[in-house]
Amino acid sequence: MQTYKCLTILVVGSPPYWKDRPKPYSVPPDEGIHYCDQNSDKMPKAVLLPVIVAVNKCTEKAGKEPYKWSSVDIVTDRGNLRKLMRWADNGATKDFRIDMQLAGKGTVLLTRFAERTREMFSGCTFGYSFERESTVVAPGCKDSYSHHRIITYVRCSFYLTSKIF
């Protein structure tokens, strides 16, 4: 028997809506520049600041008490979690670097390190063009560059028990 406790998810913004276009339709290759790490590109001295500001604004807008950052153990982004999970699962096939900084008495900030914050498309991929051709920006999100979810895992306890017959 497995028992899992406490998962809290806070979602900010909205992903694009599916257009449901008639099929088939053509999608051009991706072209131009794309961000590998938009926060590092736009705010290299404060990469996690957009995350912190977004959480603060959402709690303020919801009329809640200011977010208690001292209760947070780790602040990171999806890219770092994916790299760590890949490493834990199979030893990671690529080298990577994650910078760590202690904030306050017990919060660790994990910041990804990227050689490049943006790259030129090679013309051999179609993912970004497919999204652009197949979705429309959600109402109220027309000025956003991208969509991210903010997820909070509250100190969870996992209890694993098994019976042997």
Q: Are residues 145 and 38 in contact, defined by beta-carbon separation less than 8 angstroms?
A: yes
Residue of 68 and 129 predicted with greater confidence: 129
Q: Are residues 101 and 109 in contact, defined by beta-carbon separation less than 8 angstroms?
A: yes
Of the candidates 104, 125, 109, the residue with the CA atom closest to the CA atom of residue 77: 109
Q: Per residue in 27-72, pLDDT tens?
A: 999 999 988 888 888 888 888 888 888 888 888 888 888 888 888 8
Q: Per residue in 132-156, pLDDT tens?
A: 999 998 887 777 766 666 666 665 5
Tell how far CA 25 is from the center of its chain. Answer: 30
Q: Per residue in 98-122, pLDDT tens?
A: 999 999 888 888 998 888 889 999 9
Q: Are residues 55 and 77 in contact, defined by beta-carbon separation less than 8 angstroms?
A: no
Q: Residue 8: phi, psi to the nearest 5?
A: -120, 130
Rounded distance, CA 30 to CA 128, Å? 6
Q: Is 40 exposed, middle or buried (0-12, 13-18, 19+ CB in 10 A)?
A: buried
pLDDT band at residue 1, thresholds of 50, 70 and 90? very low
